[in-house]
Amino acid sequence: MYDPKSMKAEEFISHEEILSTLQYAEENKNNLALVDEVLQKAEKRKGLTHREASLLLACEDPERLQRLYALARQIKEDFYGNRIVMFAPLYLSNYCVNGCVYCPYHLKNKHIARKKLTQEEIVREVTALQDMGHKRLAIEAGEDPVNNPIEYILECIHTIYSIKHKNGAIRRVNVNIAATTVENYRKLKEAGIGTYILFQETYHKESYESLHPTGPKHNYAYHTEAMDRAMEGGIDDVGLGVLFGLELYKYEFAGLLMHAEHLEAVHGVGPHTISVPRLKRADDIDPDAFDNGIDDEIFAKLCACIRVAVPYTGMIISTRESKAVREKVLPLGVSQISGASRTSVGGYCEPEPEEENSQQFDVSDKRTLDEVVRWLMELGYIPSFCTACYREGRTGDRFMTLLKNGQILNCCHPNALMTLKEFLMDYASPETKRLGEEMISRELEKIPGEKVKQIAKERLEKIENGIRDFRF
Ligand code: SAM
């Protein structure tokens, strides 16, 4: 029984509803009048249902696809402007008791080096990240109640926030750890986290169970209902994601949107972000052993469909993707990317010797943060190190209201410019700095409110004179 308001995983992600959605999409994909109707609805920028969006994903008509891409670009521009928020993952520990067959951290992998950062090591890692210019982290850990209990995660968050090195600071810590209890989510909230991120991996229950044969993650319902517990624990910014390559992408897409609809129906606020990771080669993992890999074209189509289906949800692309692929999908709706990532435990301080590999997966984009920042600006994007929203209490529906009221240009835009200015002053190479200064003077003019523009100019001058951390 499909019921978006149900609190039971198998009712709000109903297998039957997904199958019937896919059948509907397949049967109607050449019904161009119907596709046009859906595109018209999407043009109103209020989003689409999983059925409507699945129809667009199934459609192969070149003209309609051009319209879809153009609309995704337009929505991205109108809702998120040319700002791209920057972040980096920080791997705390790769001890894990689960048996995920696609992840090299699985329990049976006796060959991978197991590492867990001490608080002193965290200080060193975070100092290295601050020295690159990062302000926003996503912490990552395997699931291991003995080695990585919640107390350890909380202690790490506390340490990360406490490190002040030169002008550096981590101002937002997002958390990507295994599904946990309401009580633990409450503790994470109290520790001041930004978004709680948990990838569903796959919405297909049967596949989920065989891909997670052992360990606590095997429990599909507990994993799928995690976001509801997180919200009950007071975290109202949650990040969804699917690991593309595990199951049929059309199935995952419908499931992902049903999950978003469920959160909206029950909690009145949809997901803050959606991540679109694709399966990568890793220690003892060969992505070719999985049957459902998607090519770059389908990947781009998926990004565009997500953009038009949930315009208010940010979209994240990690360094799993190459420079070329990132360049292809950035205009289709991506709002956050990582830069200079290391997926090994302790990887920011020193490169790991070959025999001590603790990497979770191979990264494709290996550029430095300065290179990524410069590249974004050359493409016309403003790299933003902004972390203002949750520090100003603009989370959950309050963030959505900002977006819906079109106040982004008076708020996110100056914040992006001010945090970029900090990066230019403290970390950029001369060429990046030159490009950035030009960009800031050009982009300042886009701030609609005269008063805001004036304040932003004054603050930029203060940043030039050594003061940091302004925000609207
Ligand atoms: N252990 C936590 C959990 O169970 O959700 C999350 C942290 S894990 C470090 C982050 C994500 O990396 C996983 O949710 C999974 O989707 C992704 N991942 C695992 N193996 C991968 C691979 N071989 N290639 C790409 N991504 C992978």
H helices of 175-312, in order, are: 182-190, 205-211, 220-224, 226-232, 249-267, 296-309
Return the best residue to mutate from 102, 103, 184, 207 for the ligand 1 pocket (most ligand atoms within 8 A of CB).
103
pLDDT confidence tier of residue 407, bands split at 50, 70 and 90: confident
Average pLDDT, the chain: 96
What confidence score (pLDDT) does residue 460 get? 98
Distance, CA of 455 to CA of 437 (rounded, Å) = 17
Ligand 1 proximity of 116 Cβ (cutoff 6 Å)? no
What confidence score (pLDDT) does residue 142 get? 98
What confidence score (pLDDT) does residue 281 get? 95
pLDDT at residue 356 above 80?
no
Express as a percent the part of the chain with pLDDT over 90: 93
Q: What pTM, to 2 d.p., does this model score?
A: 0.97
Express as a percent the part of the chain with pLDDT over 70: 100
In DSSP terms, 89 is beta-bridged to 138
Nearest by Cα to 416 from 448, 384, 390: 384
- Report the separation in Å between the CA atom of 261 and the middle of ligand 1, taken as the mean of its atom positions: 24
pLDDT digits (tens, 9 = 90+) for 94-131: 999 999 999 999 999 999 999 999 999 999 999 999 99
Paired tokens of 135: 């302000």
Ligand 1 proximity of 277 Cβ (cutoff 6 Å)? yes
What confidence score (pLDDT) does residue 100 get? 98
- Report the separation in Å between the CA atom of 279 and the middle of ligand 1, taken as the mean of its atom positions: 9
- Report the separation in Å between the CA atom of 92 and the middle of ligand 1, taken as the mean of its atom positions: 13
What confidence score (pLDDT) does residue 200 get? 98
Distance, CA of 207 to CA of 245 (rounded, Å) = 12
Paired tokens of 75: 């929505």
Provide CB contacts within 8 A for 353, sequence distance 6+: none
| Topology annotation, domain 79-366 | TIM Barrel (3.20.20)
**DSSP of 286-335:** -GGGSS----HHHHHHHHHHHHHH-TTSEEEE-TTS-HHHHHHHGGGT--
pLDDT confidence tier of residue 265, bands split at 50, 70 and 90: very high
Alpha carbon distance, N-terminus to C-terminus of the chain:
45
Return the best residue to mutate from 114, 225, 360, 361 for the ligand 1 pocket (most ligand atoms within 8 A of CB).
360
Nearest by Cα to 103 from 237, 1, 245: 245
Query: In a 3-state reduction of DSSP, which class is residue 408?
Result: helix
What confidence score (pLDDT) does residue 408 get? 82
Rounded average pLDDT over 288-304: 97
Helix 119-132, helix 150-162: angle, nearest 10:
40
For 277-290, b/e burial (b = at least 16 CB within 10 A) is: bbbbebbebeeeeb
pLDDT at residue 175 above 90?
yes
What confidence score (pLDDT) does residue 179 get? 98
- Cα–Cα distances in angstroms (integers) from residue 36 to residues 45, 55, 383, 395, in the given order: 15, 11, 35, 34
pLDDT digits (tens, 9 = 90+) for 180-225: 999 999 999 999 999 999 999 999 999 999 999 999 999 999 999 9
Return the best residue to mutate from 96, 106, 176 for the ligand 1 pocket (most ligand atoms within 8 A of CB).
176
What confidence score (pLDDT) does residue 328 get? 97
**DSSP of 27-42:** HHTT-HHHHHHHHHHH
pLDDT at residue 401 above 90?
no
pLDDT confidence tier of residue 400, bands split at 50, 70 and 90: confident
pLDDT confidence tier of residue 472, bands split at 50, 70 and 90: very high
